[in-house]
Structure 1
Amino acid sequence: MDIRQLKYFTTLADEQTYTRAARMLHISQPSLSATIKKLEQEIGLTLIDRSAREIRITTEGRFLYREAQKLLHHYEHVSFEMDRLKHQGPLELAIGLIESSMFFISDILTRFKQEYPDVRVSLLETLSLGDVEKALTNFDIHLAITNQYIHQKDIDTIPIYEENLVALIPPEHHLSRKDSLTIHDLGGENFIVCKEGFQTRQDILNAFSKSGVKSNIQFEIERFETGCSLVEDGLGITVVPENYVRYSKQTNCAVKTIDDVSISRIVYLAYDKNRYLPPIVMRFIELVKGFFA
Structure 2
Amino acid sequence: MEFRHLVYFVTIVEQSTYTRAATVLHVSQPSLSAAIKKLENEVGLTLIKRNTRSLEVTSEGKILYQEAKKLLNHYQHVSKEMIRLKEQGPLELTIGLIESSNFWVPKILKQFQKEYQDAHIKLLEILSLTDVEKALTNFDIHLAITNQNLNNDAIETLPIYEEKLVAVLPQGHNLQDYTELTIYDLKDETFIICKEGFQTREDILYAFAKSGIQPMIQFEIERFETACRLVIEGLGITVVPENYVKNTVHSDYHIKHINDSHLSRSVYLAYEKNRYLPPIVLKFIGLVEEFFKQ
* TM-score normalised by L of structure 2: 0.94
Alpha-carbon distance in structure 2 between the residues aligned to 1:158 and 1:196: 24
Corresponding position of 1:11? 11
SS in 2 for 1:220: strand
Corresponding position of 1:74? 74
Alpha-carbon distance in structure 1 between the residues aligned to 2:19 and 2:204: 54
Alpha-carbon distance in structure 2 between the residues aligned to 1:116 and 1:15: 42
Q: Show CA shifts across 1:37-58 (max 9, x none).
A: 2222222223233466633333
Deviation of 1:121 after TM superposition, in Å, equals: 0.5
Alpha-carbon distance in structure 1 between the residues aligned to 2:48 and 2:89: 43
The answer to whether the 8 Å contact 1:95/1:141 transfers is yes
Distance 1:182 1:161, change over 3 A: same
Structure 2 residues not aligned, in runs of 5+: none
Corresponding position of 1:274? 274
Deviation of 1:160 after TM superposition, in Å, equals: 0.3
SS in 1 for 2:121: strand
Alpha-carbon distance in structure 2 between the residues aligned to 1:94 and 1:76: 17
Larger deviation, residues 74-83 vs 48-57: 48-57
Q: Show CA shifts across 1:39-92 (max 9, x none).
A: 222222232334666333333222212211111121111111112222121110
Aligned residues: 293
Corresponding position of 1:212? 212
Distance 1:101 1:270, change over 3 A: same
Larger deviation, residues 170-179 vs 18-27: 18-27
Structure 1 residues not aligned, in runs of 5+: none
Corresponding position of 1:243? 243
Paired residues for 1:115-194 under 5 Å: 115-194=115-194
Deviation of 1:95 after TM superposition, in Å, equals: 0.5
Distance 1:14 1:206, change over 3 A: same
Q: Show CA shifts across 1:208-263 (max 9, x none).
A: 11111121111111111111121122111111111111123534312111125531
**CA-based RMSD:** 1.6
The answer to whether the 8 Å contact 1:232/1:251 transfers is no
Which residue identity does 1:237 align to in structure 2? I
Which residue identity does 1:289 align to in structure 2? E
Which residue identity does 2:100 align to in structure 1? S
Which residue identity does 2:195 align to in structure 1? K
Distance 1:251 1:151, change over 3 A: farther
The answer to whether the 8 Å contact 1:182/1:261 transfers is no
Larger deviation, residues 233-242 vs 7-16: 7-16
Alpha-carbon distance in structure 1 between the residues aligned to 2:192 and 2:230: 8
The answer to whether the 8 Å contact 1:231/1:238 transfers is yes
Alpha-carbon distance in structure 2 between the residues aligned to 1:149 and 1:26: 42
* TM-score normalised by L of structure 1: 0.95
The answer to whether the 8 Å contact 1:154/1:273 transfers is yes
